Amino acid sequence: MKHITCIEDLRLLHKRRVPKAFFDYADRGSYAEETLRANREDLQKIKFRQRILVDVSKRDLSTTILGEPSSMPLILAPVGLLGMQHGDGEIHACRAAQAAGIPFTQSTMSICSIEDIAGSVEKPFWFQLYVMKDRGFIKALVERAIAAKCTALCLTVDLQVIGQRHQDIKNGMSVPPEWTLSKLFDFAIRPGWVQGVLQGKRRTFGNIAGHVKNTEDLTKLSAWTAAQFDTSLNWKDVDWIRSIWPGKLIIKGIHDIEDAKLAVETGAQALVVSNHGGRQLDGAPSSIHVLPGIADAVGDKIEIMFDGGIRSGQDVMRALALGAKSCMLGRAYAYGLGAGGQAGVAKAIDIIRNELLTTMGLCGVNTVAEIDRKVLAD
Ligand SMILES: Cc1cc2nc3c(=O)[nH]c(=O)nc-3n(C[C@H](O)[C@H](O)[C@H](O)COP(=O)(O)O)c2cc1C
Ligand SMILES: CCCCC(=O)C(=O)O
């Protein structure tokens, strides 16, 4: 990892090491990928004010996230199928986050189960929930998160209808996977990846498999899961989740000021300004475009988290300047995981940490609390 200097290096290594279908699943977005591109392009348009001769010898990244101390304003976002980027990927990512002193969020769509992770890491983690049609299953899943001592529930609300990812269809990305000669070849030339995944605890959705009868039957599991996304989901369901989850609640997938105000009314502790990394509503504005309006409207009533296109410490600084209290990393750490397991995720976090520290120094800022619109050029 010595010559890896930026997240793009990890991305290229991930692309080399992991079969194309899984790399593309992580890397690509929905439809024409306009929102995926806008997330990156709009961040890059934001320029900093260079300030000089300020004593920046005592820069400090520490902050609080949901009232708990965190070494920096970063969170690992829920990312599905991490265990297909690297064997036991969820455990590797969670360990890297905990070693760095930041929260890890486990996706409902994980390969390792909640219990697999809880039994393999030192500290509590967060759990992300998709509310599926089978409410009995969801209640049981929430109870499992409580039993595993998860410290926050991240309720994702922007996937009741699934945005089509063209590349996943072209790659036959389904459970069970579509087997073609080229796919077999693609796997065969990556024996390290194959061995890692085969040695992992599981090879399908760990949180769901136990619930579906005939768990060995991937076709049934896949059909059940696909049919379970609930288009009828609405704010009453959030109230129901509030009633069965006693801990801290984060609503993820807010992109509109009116929705942000409704999220405040649920009593949730935080919201994530997010368009699901350009994987859902293509044609939506970038997350960074909508962040200032949402932060101005509700930033004093609820903790604002941000994601979408963060690939550097500079990007974190931009989001904090426009009103986020912390940022979730999605692809940035998934690339690290594909590139090199726990060490790769640690590298991704470290790259972003160092970039943020340097950017703060060159903008004449010493603490995270000082970062506001004043660090941006007009
Ligand atoms: C491969 C992949 C899988 C994802 N799976 C989930 C998921 O299971 N649950 C969820 O709430 N968000 C999921 N997301 C969205 C991320 O949590 C996050 O919102 C997004 O990745 C942020 O954009 P970025 O990747 O540009 O940082 C996923 C994102 C990616 C890239
Ligand atoms: C059906 C998709 C579940 C995982 C996810 O949220 C994503 O791939 O973006």
DSSP characters for 212-236?
Answer: SSSTT-HHHHHHHHHHHB-TT--HH
Distinct helix (H) and strand (E) counts, the chain: 17, 10
Written as tens digits, the pLDDT of the chain (378 aa) is: 889 999 999 999 999 999 999 999 999 999 999 999 999 999 999 999 999 999 999 999 999 999 999 999 999 999 999 999 999 999 999 999 999 999 999 999 999 999 999 999 999 999 999 999 999 999 999 999 999 999 999 999 999 999 999 999 999 887 667 788 888 999 999 999 999 999 999 988 999 988 876 555 667 777 888 889 999 999 999 999 999 999 999 999 999 999 999 999 999 999 999 999 999 999 999 999 999 999 999 999 999 999 999 999 999 999 999 999 999 999 999 999 999 999 999 999 999 999 999 999 999 999 999 999 999 998
* Beta-carbon count within 10 A of 36 CB: 25
**Ligand 2 pocket, residue 252 CB under 6 Å:** no
157 lines ligand 2 (CB under 6 A): no
Taking alpha carbons only, the member of 308, 325, 270 closest to residue 63 is 325
* CB-ligand 2 contact for 36 (6 Å cutoff): no
Backbone angles phi, psi at 185, to 5 degrees: -65, -45
ipTM field: 0.99
Distance 107 CA to ligand 2 centre (A): 9
Closest residue to atom 5 of ligand 2, CA basis: 80
Closest to 24 (Cα-Cα) out of 152, 155, 156, 173: 173
Mutate which of 279, 280, 282 for ligand 2 pocket (most atoms within 8 A of beta carbon)? 279
Q: In ligand 1, which atom is closest to the CA atom of 39?
A: 26
Distance 53 CA to ligand 1 centre (A): 40
The tokens of 128 are what? 């992300």
What is the 279 CA–ligand 1 centroid distance (Å)?
8
Which of ligand 2's atoms lies nearest the C-alpha of 25? 8
Q: Does any ligand 2 atom lie closer than 6 A to the CB of residue 253?
A: no
Active site residues: 276
Which residue's CA is the closest to the ligand 1 atom numbered 15? 276
What separation in Å is there between the alpha carbon of 322 and the centre of ligand 2? 27
The ligand with the least distance to the CA atom of 164 is 2
Looking at residue 221, what is its pLDDT?
A: 76
